[in-house]
Amino acid sequence: MEPFLTLGLPAVAGAGYGLLMSPYSQVFGAYPYHGDRHDRAVALTFDDGPNEPYTSQIADHLAALDIRATFFQVGLCVQRYPETTRRLYEAGHVIGNHSFRHRFSTYLAPHRFEREIHQTQELLRQHLGVTPALVRTPWLWRQPALLRMLHRASLQPVAGTFAHAAEVFQPDGARMARRAIAKTRPGSILIFHDGFDGRGGERGQTVAAVRRYTETLRRHGFRFVTVDELLGVAPYLPADNTSTSQR
């Protein structure tokens, strides 16, 4: 019996990951991870920020190439660097919701994640005057009740392809860029991290990877769009839903 359990547990864990956290799982409902595009359009996204000085370094590079990206931001980090969030928005980047604390324990208590989403929505509304319509759950966690809650709130979940599985450990930027380039297809939504959970962290190699990645794709005829453009959805909730003006 023990050998069976030993062999079976990894299979169960793998199946659980595939259902609940895989970027490509659609079992519990639509969670888009790419756009239906035939031209060379790619959506570049960033999670876990803002986180200085790295978010601004990325923003400066994107501005030099006239690229607009989508930043899924953590509420605690927005509180830490509100001026960075404002700068991104004013530069034409789209701001999405990535929870308030970015802790896995948020998923373990009823309605806690819903409260975090609404808390971050209100924070971003106060700072930007608009309320995001796009949300990315930390670790891309999904389950039926969570997706139903997002639907009730008129929020669009967005998954994507991780640029590099080991980005959290900050491997060499050139290596991360090569891996991200190899994964990119027309309609891809690429996920980089300008922060780490809600704590910040060193992201110099991510900055280097983004520079190489964007410059290489541009040479190969790709263009960059925001997630809402790629999926054909609204970036922000309408005024009658949020008491704010839509962008």
Q: Which domains does the chain have, with CATH numbers?
A: 31-242 (3.20.20.370)
Q: What is the DSSP letter of 132?
A: B
CA 21 to chain centre: 14
Q: Residue 121 corresponds to which tokens in the numbers above?
A: 């929505």
Please give the pLDDT value at position 16.
66
Please give the pLDDT value at position 225.
97
Residues 135, 47: contact at Cβ < 8 Å?
Answer: no
Closest to 206 in 3D by CA, of 51, 87, 80 = 51
Report d(CA 237, CA 228) in Å as an integer. 12
Average pLDDT for the chain: 91
- Specify which residues 58 forms β-bridges with: none
Please give the pLDDT value at position 3.
55
- Specify which residues 157 forms β-bridges with: 135
Report d(CA 162, CA 51) in Å as an integer. 19
- The low-confidence residues of the chain, meaning pLDDT below 70, are 1-18, 240-247
Please give the pLDDT value at position 124.
98
Type of residue at 106: T
What is the residue whose two structure tokens read 């967005």? 158
**Phi/psi at 91 (nearest 5 deg)?**
-80, -5
What is the residue whose two structure tokens read 């509180």? 79
Report d(CA 162, CA 158) in Å as an integer. 12
Q: How many residues does the chain have?
A: 247
Q: What contacts 124, CB < 8 A, 6 or more positions away? A: 73, 75, 78, 85, 95, 97, 130, 131, 132
